[in-house]
Structure 1
Amino acid sequence: MKFKKFMIPVLGVLIPHGAFADSSLFSIKDGDGFKRFAVSAGWLHVMPQGKPNNLGNKTVIPEGYEAGVGRIRLSDITENAVDKNGLTALLGLLDDTQITGGYLPDLGLKANVYGLEQWQSPNTGLEAQDVDTLGLVFNYYFTDHVSVELVGGIPPKVDLKGIGNVTAPLSTHTSVLGLADLDLQKDLQITNLDSYDTAASVRAWTPAVTLQYHFGQTGINKFRPYIGIGAMYAWFDDIKLNKGIEGDLIAAGHQIQNVLDGKAGAALSGETSSANPYVKVKADTGIAPFATAGFSYDFNDRWFSTASVSYAALNNKAKILVISDKDQSELIRSETKVDINPVITYLGIGYRF
């Protein structure tokens, strides 16, 4: 311990106090003819390359859930009955006076509900569209050849294109007072994403940092290519769902709530439920590997132009929730992986100092 206490002040004397300050790596003075800092601004064009992934869906209705049928539209039975035996038995219990306005009265029947707990929607998904924005790029040069770069800019609004038709594979089983079994099958319409130009828009915050190597030499080569690797951090806010899709999802939420309310017949006919469902959309944040290649061209020792092409292996998960205002439970949840994987081009004018 005494030896350490002795050596520390001795080393402090032997090592010059300006050693780190005078180092070309840490000094803020100009190095061998190059400037430490550079900033540029220009056109940033983002071209997502990812393909859509199927939507995965689930509702609050467990498999085999027993629900009251309640009042039911006759056409919903005749058009969706799997076989006619149960239908014949049911109609045999009624006379014409009991069928009012095309609806059967509440006979106290129960139905087991299947297919709504969870399912995949094939050939569906979300695709990010191309977008342009103002890019801002900052560089700090450790040496004439090595720099760290921060890429930012004005966060753009990105449109998400919806792909495919989302339906729910509903089936029910009812025992008609022990006389026969009545099975119904119907694909409940959730939303047809193909019917809308865009499914949603989102503001994307995607700063990236890279470590770069610059070829050539300042003062000798005006044209200097560079390559770099790093990471992109992405988060998303100001998510706005298409109003038409939002309306479709609210209607689907009413169908699920009607099943919970013991009104499976009302669910089939798309009637308003006892709840007032609303929709929330969420997007996960993510970190992605980032690679870039480009060049700079010097007009003089301070002003330059620059261009680059970059790629980020970026994806995130989007979640669409239909929530009941009664107890804040999730009536419907849809999730999909959004593969963005953008190719990013940049063209800018910069200044070194």
Structure 2
Amino acid sequence: MNKMIWGKIIVAGSCVALTNISYAENFKRFSVSAGWMHVMPQGKANPFNINSVVDPNKENGYGIGSISQQAFLGSIDPDAQLYTGENALDFLPLTFERPGIGNQSLAQMLGALENNDASDDQSYLSNINASTAGSAQLKGIDQWTAQDTGLEAKNVDTLGLTFNYYLNDHVSLQFIGGIPPKVDIKGKGEIVANMTGEAMPQGDIAMLFPDGILDLAQDIPITNLGNKKRASSVRAWTPAMEVQYQFGQSGVNKFRPFVGAGIMYAYFNEIKLDSTIKQDLVNAGHMIQNILDDKAGAALDGEVSSADPKVRVKTTDAIAPLVTLGATYDINENWFGIASLSYAKLSNRANIDVIDKNTGNKLIRSSTKIDIDPLITYVGVGYRF
């Protein structure tokens, strides 16, 4: 009796084992799927690091040349001092009292000196000429970090495609691709050059300032990234490869969760910069070239320089680790539904240069790290064969 029972148990166990082996041997080697892919970048903006070819230690400084009265006054450090006789006084709000004359602005004072007529309120100059303006040592526009600025990728949708090759019923190699989406890049903050330095005026004007030196300090706006709908757009190519492990068994479990890990490669092209930002950077290129040409006054007045600036934008390629959690659901022997959530620790660098087309010189070099770090959801339908 016992022998008969043990015999039945052995036979039954053998049948189950043979059935499982049969399922394992009959799994499909290949599968493909297509569906909706939604990419949600999680990274935050990083500040721009900016360099220009202005040398803050240039011997004798840069020539100022002709400069408008408004630009001249706007460049003066609010804490600078002015001689008005025996005493040195702060001249904010650029008015002071002269004995026997009354209140006068700095502009009127300069005009009075130039025209030797201290009593004529209308005698101030519309421009300070090159021989009077002298030269200046300029700092702060050679290199700086623009805090609270940067670039952030926005959410995007595209058609996703996957291809799996199964090594066995549980382990597969998956290639992830799709139609490369056009990604909008949002700008953050305003880029401002905090210029400082010392001007060395010539002639009678020099006598107005202690030791003939006028302290300079001016915040020069370069471009506003944050007030644009988008700072730029790019085409993103992000193929990925994963090793996946799928739980359950083919032909037994309709619902089969899986986990995966692999790498993502990112390449970006078709980069288009906002036209207003692009023009602002061209204007900044003219400013730098005017300084190099010893026309710092023209630089502050926003005049066109001898350069022909162009803007070049490049991004670096990147490789990032990728992890995935998902599941498939068998509709029948061949067709299945799939859903997954992936995360990639992805970042790259954007380099924006302003180059003089006449000489090839880089007038301005700027760079920022873009942390993309996307969460990627995928919902699709697949076929096994």
Q: TM-score, normalised by structure 2?
A: 0.80
Alignment of 1:80 onto 2:75: yes
SS of 2:299's equivalent? Answer: helix
Identity %: 50
Alignment of 1:130 onto 2:127: no
**1:324 paired residue number:** 356
| Residue 78 (structure 1) shift | 2.1
State the Cα deviation string for residues 83-127 of structure 1 (Å, max 9, x = none). Answer: 242768965651289965x21121161111111111011111101
SS of 1:169's equivalent? Answer: strand
**2:28 paired residue number:** 35
Partners of 2:165 and 2:198 in 1: how far apart? 69
| Residue 332 (structure 1) shift | 0.9
| Residue 81 (structure 1) shift | 1.6
SS of 1:85's equivalent? Answer: strand
Asked if 1 retains the 8 angstrom alpha-carbon contact of 2:192 and 2:219, the reply is: yes
Partners of 1:115 and 1:181 in 2: how far apart? 18
**2:215 paired residue number:** 183
Partners of 2:259 and 2:142 in 1: how far apart? 50
Asked if 1 retains the 8 angstrom alpha-carbon contact of 2:72 and 2:297, the reply is: no
| Residue 172 (structure 1) shift | 3.0
SS of 2:56's equivalent? Answer: coil
Give the 4+ runs in structure 1 shifted more than 4 A: 86-93, 96-100
**2:257 paired residue number:** 225
Asked if 2 retains the 8 angstrom alpha-carbon contact of 1:99 and 1:105, the reply is: no
- CA 1:306–1:43: 2 relative to 1, 3 Å: same
Q: What's the C-alpha RMSD, in Å, of the aligned pairs?
A: 1.9
Asked if 2 retains the 8 angstrom alpha-carbon contact of 1:128 and 1:340, the reply is: yes
Partners of 1:326 and 1:170 in 2: how far apart? 27
Equivalent AA in structure 1 for residue 168 of structure 2? T
Equivalent AA in structure 1 for residue 201 of structure 2? V
Alignment of 1:302-317 (within 5 A): 302-317=334-349
**Range that drifts further, 325-334 or 168-177:** 168-177
**Range that drifts further, 80-89 or 337-346:** 80-89
Alignment of 1:147 onto 2:179: no
Partners of 1:262 and 1:244 in 2: how far apart? 27
SS of 1:220's equivalent? Answer: coil
Equivalent AA in structure 1 for residue 37 of structure 2? L
Asked if 2 retains the 8 angstrom alpha-carbon contact of 1:163 and 1:194, the reply is: yes
Partners of 1:43 and 1:326 in 2: how far apart? 48
SS of 2:300's equivalent? Answer: helix
Partners of 1:218 and 1:312 in 2: how far apart? 29
Asked if 2 retains the 8 angstrom alpha-carbon contact of 1:98 and 1:104, the reply is: no
- CA 1:99–1:93: 2 relative to 1, 3 Å: same
**Range that drifts further, 253-262 or 179-188:** 179-188
**1:105 paired residue number:** 129
Partners of 2:123 and 2:238 in 1: how far apart? 63
Partners of 2:123 and 2:135 in 1: how far apart? 19
Asked if 2 retains the 8 angstrom alpha-carbon contact of 1:85 and 1:181, the reply is: no
| Residue 188 (structure 1) shift | 1.3
Partners of 1:265 and 1:172 in 2: how far apart? 14
Partners of 1:125 and 1:344 in 2: how far apart? 23
Partners of 1:176 and 1:244 in 2: how far apart? 36
Partners of 1:59 and 1:302 in 2: how far apart? 61
Alignment of 1:68 onto 2:49: no
SS of 2:131's equivalent? Answer: coil
Which of 5, 25, 39 is equivalent to 1:46? 39
Partners of 1:185 and 1:326 in 2: how far apart? 31
State the Cα deviation string for residues 198-238 of structure 1 (Å, max 9, x = none). Answer: 00000111011000000000000010000010000111101
| Residue 343 (structure 1) shift | 0.1
| Residue 31 (structure 1) shift | 5.9
| Structure 1 gap segments, 5+ residues each | 1-29
Partners of 2:243 and 2:257 in 1: how far apart? 14
Asked if 2 retains the 8 angstrom alpha-carbon contact of 1:166 and 1:189, the reply is: yes
SS of 1:327's equivalent? Answer: coil
SS of 1:321's equivalent? Answer: strand
Alignment of 1:200-215 (within 5 A): 200-215=232-247
| Structure 2 gap segments, 5+ residues each | 1-22, 84-105
**1:16 paired residue number:** none
Partners of 1:173 and 1:223 in 2: how far apart? 74
Residues matched between the structures, number: 323
Partners of 2:238 and 2:153 in 1: how far apart? 14
**1:59 paired residue number:** 52
Partners of 2:344 and 2:231 in 1: how far apart? 23
Partners of 1:91 and 1:115 in 2: how far apart? 30
Equivalent AA in structure 1 for residue 265 of structure 2? Y
Asked if 1 retains the 8 angstrom alpha-carbon contact of 2:51 and 2:143, the reply is: yes
Partners of 2:227 and 2:325 in 1: how far apart? 39
**Range that drifts further, 321-330 or 132-141:** 321-330
**1:295 paired residue number:** 327
SS of 2:180's equivalent? Answer: coil
Q: TM-score, normalised by structure 1?
A: 0.88
| Residue 79 (structure 1) shift | 2.9
